[in-house]
């Protein structure tokens, strides 16, 4: 490492820490002050945006926080990591281990309750969001720490290949390979295959749904799927995409770039591996918890996938967090409603794999 690179890293860390401190300070203000700073209530589609979320969005606009999709995939990746560090905060967990899964970088998170035991563990294989062209182990580190700690479940996060360098089906193939590898190496990883789950947010929710479908067809063990505001039909229009196309973190321009990067071939965008909403639902598909956000462009397709599963006889719970936006998993504890939603995700995971 050169001195210049080291200096940049230190300076970057200081800036991130300062921003995180500002966010924390603002959220400690009295509720009435936060409400005034946030501005007039935002009401759309019969829903009211959570005032703390509205305030944080306003802070981002006032601070001219760079938007990853405006600078391109490569330059956008460190921006997403930085934003996740600001919003994720410090999330303690028992043990964190870097390792390799199916030839891919991975990170294992062990809650304290499991770290001292050699018994097989309830486990979540986690795939991060980021539109298939952003995100990785760092962007979702705080979220995975929180999920492991609050659920009492071992979390294995997998860093799949990103577009546009690696377009479809690279991410899908990596996700399937990683899950299969975990099953094949369950003893080494101390995974209880009877309490094995797959999950992820956004693009990661898309990959998780695809893995669950594959597992049912292939007869792989899978107890549960945790789909957090999943993209289930990326190339298709919807009412929520029209309503929330701009101003609520995830934008239409970001979604367009994600689709163009991951599936440049327009005809491929209806492939069920890209659009699980269009897939045939096989017998034996694992039960699912699908979380959506009221002010999220992906809301309608996530909920449509829930109806699709229910119509096929799959046990599914669809939970809309009405006042929240896309990306609330990465905000972890930034705001009362965000904290409650993420604790609910952890509880759903624990119940899904019978961890508690």
Q: Which residues, at least 6 apart from 266, have a Cβ–Cβ distance to it below 8 Å?
A: 235
Bond from prior residue into 164 cis (ω within 30 degrees of 0): yes
Q: Which residues, at least 6 apart from 293, have a Cβ–Cβ distance to it below 8 Å?
A: 229, 299, 320, 321, 324, 325, 326, 328
Alpha-helix residue ranges (DSSP H) falling in 190-335: 203-218, 239-243, 252-262, 299-311, 328-331
* Catalytic one of 69, 192, 296, 300: 296
When computed from its CA atoms, the radius of gyration of the chain, rounded to whole angstroms, is 19
Q: Please confirm, yes or no, whether 166 is among the known catalytic residues.
A: no
- Contact criterion met (CB below 8 Å) for 312 and 287: no
Q: Please confirm, yes or no, whether 296 is among the known catalytic residues.
A: yes
What are the backbone dihedrals phi and psi of residue 290, each rounded to the nearest 5 degrees, phi first?
-115, 120
At 316 the three-state DSSP class reads strand
Q: Please confirm, yes or no, whether 119 is among the known catalytic residues.
A: no
Neighbour order of strands in the sheet with 95-101:
95-101, 104-110, 154-158, 121-127, 191-201, 224-228, 288-293, 316-321
First-to-last C-alpha distance (Å) of the chain: 45
* Catalytic one of 139, 151, 202, 208: 202
Quote the DSSP letter at residue 68.
G
- Contact criterion met (CB below 8 Å) for 258 and 271: no
Residues carrying an active site annotation: 202, 296, 326
């Amino acid at each position: 490492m050169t001195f210049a690179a080291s200096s940049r890293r230190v300076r970057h860390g200081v800036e991130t820490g300062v921003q995180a401190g500002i966010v924390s300070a603002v959220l400690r203000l009295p509720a009435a002050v936060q409400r005034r700073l946030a501005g007039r209530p935002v009401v759309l589609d019969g829903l009211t945006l959570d005032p703390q979320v509205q305030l944080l969005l306003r802070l981002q606009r006032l601070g001219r926080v760079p938007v990853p999709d405006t600078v391109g995939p490569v330059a956008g990746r460190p921006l997403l990591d930085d934003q996740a560090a600001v919003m994720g905060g410090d999330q303690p967990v028992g043990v964190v281990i870097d390792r390799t899964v199916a030839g891919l970088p991975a990170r294992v998170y062990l809650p304290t309750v499991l770290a001292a035991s050699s018994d097989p563990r309830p486990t979540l294989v986690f795939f991060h969001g980021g539109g298939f062209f952003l995100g990785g182990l760092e962007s979702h580190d705080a979220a995975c720490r929180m999920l492991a700690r609050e659920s009492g479940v071992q979390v294995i996060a997998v860093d799949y290949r990103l577009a546009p360098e690696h377009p479809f089906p690279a991410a899908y193939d990596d996700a399937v390979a990683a899950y299969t590898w975990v099953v094949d190496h369950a003893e080494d990883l101390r995974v209880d295959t009877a309490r094995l789950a797959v999950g992820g947010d956004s693009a990661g929710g898309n990959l998780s749904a695809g893995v669950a479908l594959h597992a049912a067809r292939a007869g792989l063990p899978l107890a549960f799927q945790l789909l957090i505001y999943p993209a289930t039909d990326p190339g298709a229009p919807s009412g929520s995409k029209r309503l929330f196309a701009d101003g609520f973190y995830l934008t239409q321009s970001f979604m367009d770039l994600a689709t163009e990067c991951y599936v440049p071939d327009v005809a491929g965008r209806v492939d069920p591996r890209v659009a699980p909403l269009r897939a045939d639902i096989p017998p034996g598909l694992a039960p699912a918890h699908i979380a959506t956000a009221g002010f999220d462009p992906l809301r309608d397709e996530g909920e449509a996938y829930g109806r699709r599963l229910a119509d096929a006889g799959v046990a599914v719970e669809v939970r809309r967090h009405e006042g929240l936006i896309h990306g609330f998993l990465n905000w972890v504890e930034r705001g009362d409603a965000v904290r409650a939603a993420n604790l609910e995700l952890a509880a759903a995971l624990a119940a899904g794999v019978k961890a508690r």
